[in-house]
Amino acid sequence: MELLQKRSQTQVMVDSFVQSVYNWMAVGLGLTALVAFGVASSDSLFNLMYSVRFLLIIGELALVFILSARIQQMSASTATGLFLFYSALNGATLSVIFIAYTMSSIASTFGVCALTFAGCSVYGWVTKRDLTSLGSFFIMGLIGIIIASLINMFIKSSAMTMIISYIGVLVFVGLTAYDTQKLKDMALSQPDGLDAAVVRKGAIMGALTLYLDFINMFLFLLNILGGRRN
């Protein structure tokens, strides 16, 4: 009986943690979409954000680095605030997609991405296979994509852009499953009585990881499936 109660308590704790991760991820995605649409709807605001887009990108990279490297030294409220600020900043950067693509293609691509992400996440949660080795492979693939994208900024090859997009979708499909499995392991390894602030920071870090997987998968899919405005 005690063993069953302990398992029940563990399951409740795991479910609560995972729900918190996906809730914060959803909040981040919602904030990103809201800011992106708002910026794109204002010509003056869009022009301002576009003129400082490189500073925005640098700021985003800095925030991800700070959260990843220093989250254990932060308060839970600071980590949450930085995650939300990053989501808003990313929305400002991504406002360009509402200018470049039709609303119908953005909506349909988002639906495809959401279903793909959900399927990969479920697989990562239920599979008995250890995805660690595959995770390392996909991380190497991500590094390759970054390098290829930097090179393509100079040669501006449309063919290479499409190849990178297809590979990018495959890489983030794999990373979504891998990161979900890591999230599951993190949830199951939490000791009883863990401080609520520590749990919150773990949930924010998990939300950031899955948020990045979703956003990047969406952008690569949009490049493949999206209908551009005339």
Model confidence pLDDT, tens digit, residues 98-109: 999 999 999 999
Model confidence pLDDT, tens digit, residues 83-95: 999 999 999 999 9
Residue 45, pLDDT > 80, answer yes
Among 162, 181, 168, which Cα is nearest to 212's?
168
Q: Mean of the pLDDT values across residues 127-134? A: 87
Tell me how far apart the alpha carbons of residues 161 and 187 are, in angstroms, rounded to a whole number: 38
Residue 188, pLDDT > 60, answer yes
**Three-class secondary structure of residue 47 per DSSP:** helix
Which pLDDT does position 3 carry in this prediction? 46
Residue 36, pLDDT > 80, answer yes
Residue 57, pLDDT > 70, answer yes
Q: Categorize the per-residue pLDDT at 136 as very low, low, confident or very high, splitting at 50, 70 and 90.
A: confident
- Written as one letter, the residue type at 40 is A
- pTM for the model stands at 0.91
Tell me how far apart the alpha carbons of residues 4 and 92 are, in angstroms, rounded to a whole number: 49
Which pLDDT does position 194 carry in this prediction? 65
Which pLDDT does position 10 carry in this prediction? 64
Residue 1, pLDDT > 70, answer no
Q: Categorize the per-residue pLDDT at 4 as very low, low, confident or very high, splitting at 50, 70 and 90.
A: very low
- Residue 210 burial by CB count (10 A; 0-12/13-18/19+): exposed, middle or buried? buried
